[in-house]
């Protein structure tokens, strides 16, 4: 019981940080989508914002090693939004998923700040063999990356460099240098 109380107290203490991260995510959506009319519209209607909202809470619980709940939260968000975002994925500030349907972001994915991805993007593993559990299996996106619709980026050694732009329907299993388009 003491452990549960400690986790609950730590979670409550972290809520202002989660709220600030979500405020920045909402602003990134507003700034990154010319069709967005207001922050309120983003917060209330964008599936990508709903998915990242659930993720930021589930990720905190995942890092705190709370069993089952983070994964259940992620799967509920997946059912509601069509965005499959594993609670273990590490996501920086000002993250924006535009449109969102069909996005898959794996457990060991690392995403920097100011990243934008579009519908149908997969950030996945090259192998799903059980022996790789616990290893880095998913790609890293550095700050400022944009990935357009339908792109698939696979592998734990794959790094998409800072400010790189990945075109639609691209299949990548190798790293991309910074500032590449």
Give the predicted TM-score (pTM) of the model. 0.95
pLDDT of residue 32: 97
CA torsion through residues 35, 112, 157, 55, sign: negative
Q: Provide the residue ranges of all domains of the chain, joining segments of one domain with +.
A: 2-172
CATH code: domain 2-172 is 2.160.10.10
How does pLDDT run along the chain (181 residues), one tens digit per residue? 899 999 999 999 999 999 999 999 999 999 999 999 999 999 999 999 999 999 999 999 999 999 999 999 999 999 999 999 999 999 999 999 999 999 999 999 999 999 999 999 999 999 777 777 778 999 999 999 999 999 999 999 999 999 999 999 999 999 999 999 9
What residues does 172 pair with on adjacent strands?
153
Listing from the earlier edge strand, what are the strands of the sheet with 104-105? Answer: 84-85, 104-105, 122-124, 152-154, 171-172
Radius of gyration of the chain (CA): 16
* Percent of the chain residues topping a pLDDT of 70: 99
Q: What share of the chain is helix, strand, coil (3-state, %, to 5)?
A: 40, 15, 45
């Amino acid at each position: 019981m003491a452990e549960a109380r400690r986790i609950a107290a730590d979670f409550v203490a972290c809520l202002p940080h989660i709220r600030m991260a979500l405020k920045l995510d909402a602003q990134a959506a507003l700034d990154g989508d010319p069709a967005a009319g207001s922050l309120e519209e983003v917060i209330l209607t964008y599936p990508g914002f709903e998915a990242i909202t659930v993720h930021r809470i589930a990720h905190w619980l995942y890092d705190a090693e709370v069993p089952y709940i983070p994964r259940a939260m992620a799967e509920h968000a997946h059912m509601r939004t069509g965005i499959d975002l594993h609670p273990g994925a590490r996501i920086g500030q000002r993250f924006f998923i535009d449109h969102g349907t069909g996005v898959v972001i794996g457990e060991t994915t690392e995403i920097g700040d100011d990243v934008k991805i579009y519908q149908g993007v997969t950030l996945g593993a090259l192998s799903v063999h059980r022996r790789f559990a616990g290893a880095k299996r998913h790609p890293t996106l550095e700050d400022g990356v944009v990935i357009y619709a339908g792109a698939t980026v696979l592998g734990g050694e794959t790094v998409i460099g800072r400010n790189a732009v990945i075109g639609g329907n691209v299949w990548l299993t190798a790293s991309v240098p910074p500032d590449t388009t």
